[in-house]
Amino acid sequence: MIARTITVARKELLHIVRDRRTMAVMFLIPIVQLFLLGYAATTDIEHLRTTVLDGDRTPQSRELIEAYRASNYFDIVAYVADEDELARMMDRGTVWAGLIIPAGYGADVVSGQTASVAFVIDGSDPNVANAVFAASQQVGQAQSMRIIERRLGISPDEMTALEVRSRVWYNPEMKSVNFMIPGLIAMILFTITIMLTSLAIVREREQGTIEQLMVTPIRPIELVVGKVTPYIAVAFFNVLEVLAIGVYWFGVPIHGSLGLLMALAAVFLMTSLGIGIFISSVTNTQQEAMLTVWMMLLPSIFLAGFFFPLEAMPKFLQAISYFIPLRYMLVIIRGIILKGVGIGPLADQVVPLLLFGVSILIFAATRFRKRLE
């Protein structure tokens, strides 16, 4: 039993080593994905391209512009003369935001009246727009305080009756990369293993080698376990690879136990291996398998709460998400890396994941028959 499994695993390893393209895909894709998503999938705003329409041209208006520039959120890339020009720049997407200071702003500030300015935001991407909106308000408030301070000659502390001191736990700098990286690790583990296992088994069918295997005494379980074993090793290597880049390049701190993370990753692996084996047992060609993988991959990534919080989804989608193993793993891995929690608080996630893994794996392995249709 063990001997034959090892024989199959050794053969599979030879296939991997001989196929340079697959090798490259296996080891590079996770890195590429990590860099792409690590940088791209962020809603932190910095140096946003901004234009200014200064209809006032007073020291006061210049001070306000400087306040926006100094915040680091906004880069003033152009000054325009009228609103039409501003609109054109927004249309073309050369700028994301525009600050409009009307004539008389400086006079209002000096005379103690409520001065007002307009801040235009490109709302095409609501996530970015929200962040820009908040940043524009924040800079404006601060400038407003400064004006009042000067007018009344008192410090802001003396004017405050209630202060809410927010403290951010787990990810105090609120860097979205800290949130993305753990999720990415789970996602990469999920995609790579499903893809590789489903392809590896369906390849034997496509090339007809399965027919030769069927007339040997090999048991389906020996074949399946032997074939996926090398990919389990690859998957763990990928986890370490991505973790290392996350920690050393993106500076994501790991608060919890690495051992626990690996152990639960193994549980999670069972589910994606099971899905991969299942896909390969219902498809006939590598192309079919690949299509099936993609068809289930995209919805699961969205429904598992990778990009958007589950709580924001409609109820029936939330219900579906309970059947997506990635959902549990996302909570687990974010918990361990960001919050440093142990197994206790994660029990609610680990138990369904384990049940899932064992049942999918058994189901998939028994579907594998030594018969041709």
Partner 1 sequence: MNEYVIETDNLTKRFKQVTAVDGLDLRIRRGEIFGLLGPDGAGKTTTIRVLCAIMEPTEGSVRVAGFDTVRESEEIKKRIGYMPQQFSLYGDLTVLENLIFFADIFGVERGEREKRIARLLEFARMTKFKKRRAAHLSGGMQKKLALACTLIHQPQILFLDEPTTGVDPVSRREFWDILTELHLQGVTLFVSTPYMDEAERCSRVGLMFEGGLIICDAPERIKSLVEGDLLELRPDRLREAARAIGGLPGVLEVQTYGDLLHVFVDDAQRRIQTIQEVLSEAGISVRGLRQTRPRMEEAFISLIRKRIEGR
User: Which of 212, 284, 285, 287 touches partner 1 (CB under 8 A)?
Assistant: 212
Query: 187 with 29: CB under 8 angstroms?
Result: no
Beta strands in 17-73 (DSSP E): 48-54
- Classify burial at 309, counting beta carbons within 10 Å of its beta carbon; exposed 0-12, middle 13-18, buried 19 or more: exposed
User: Which of 41, 214, 310, 354 touches partner 1 (CB under 8 A)?
Assistant: 214
62 binds partner 1 (CB under 8 A): no
25 binds partner 1 (CB under 8 A): no
Tell me which residue has tokens 């291996």. 273
User: Which of 31, 90, 100, 218 touches partner 1 (CB under 8 A)?
Assistant: 218
Give least dist CB 273 to partner 1, A: 22
Give least dist CB 219 to partner 1, A: 9
367 binds partner 1 (CB under 8 A): no
Beta strands in the chain (DSSP E): 48-54, 74-79, 97-101, 118-121
Give least dist CB 372 to partner 1, A: 5
Scanning 153-219, the segments in alpha helix (DSSP H) are 156-159, 176-206, 209-214
366 binds partner 1 (CB under 8 A): no
Q: Quick one: 214 or 290, whose CB is closer to partner 1?
A: 214
Q: Site for partner 1 (CB under 8 A): how many residues?
A: 23
Tell me which residue has tokens 């690996």. 262
Give least dist CB 190 to partner 1, A: 28
Per CB under 8 A, which region of 6-14, 135-143, 156-164, 260-268 contacts partner 1? 6-14
3 binds partner 1 (CB under 8 A): yes
Q: Quick one: 126 or 208, whose CB is closer to partner 1?
A: 208
18 binds partner 1 (CB under 8 A): yes
13 binds partner 1 (CB under 8 A): no
Which are the contacts of 222, defined by CB distance < 8 A and separation ≥ 6?
1, 4, 5, 8
Which are the contacts of 132, defined by CB distance < 8 A and separation ≥ 6?
45, 48, 73, 96, 97, 121
Tell me which residue has tokens 């090798």. 23
Query: 253 with 247: CB under 8 angstroms?
Result: yes
H or E stretch at 10: helix 2-18
Q: Quick one: 78 or 213, whose CB is closer to partner 1?
A: 213
215 binds partner 1 (CB under 8 A): yes
Q: Quick one: 339 or 370, whose CB is closer to partner 1?
A: 370
7 binds partner 1 (CB under 8 A): yes
- Rg of the Cα atoms in the chain: 28
* Pairwise CA distance, residues 66 & 79, whole Å: 13
Q: Count CA atoms closer than 13 A to 12's CA, side-chain side.
A: 26
Kind of pairing, strands 118-121 and 97-101? antiparallel
Per CB under 8 A, which region of 63-71, 104-112, 202-210, 315-323 contacts partner 1? 202-210
168 binds partner 1 (CB under 8 A): no
207 binds partner 1 (CB under 8 A): yes
Give least dist CB 75 to partner 1, A: 54
Q: Count CA atoms closer than 13 A to 58's CA, side-chain side.
A: 13
Q: Quick one: 18 or 92, whose CB is closer to partner 1?
A: 18
Give the binding site for partner 1 (CB under 8 A): 3-4, 7-8, 11, 14-15, 18-19, 207-209, 211-218, 370-372
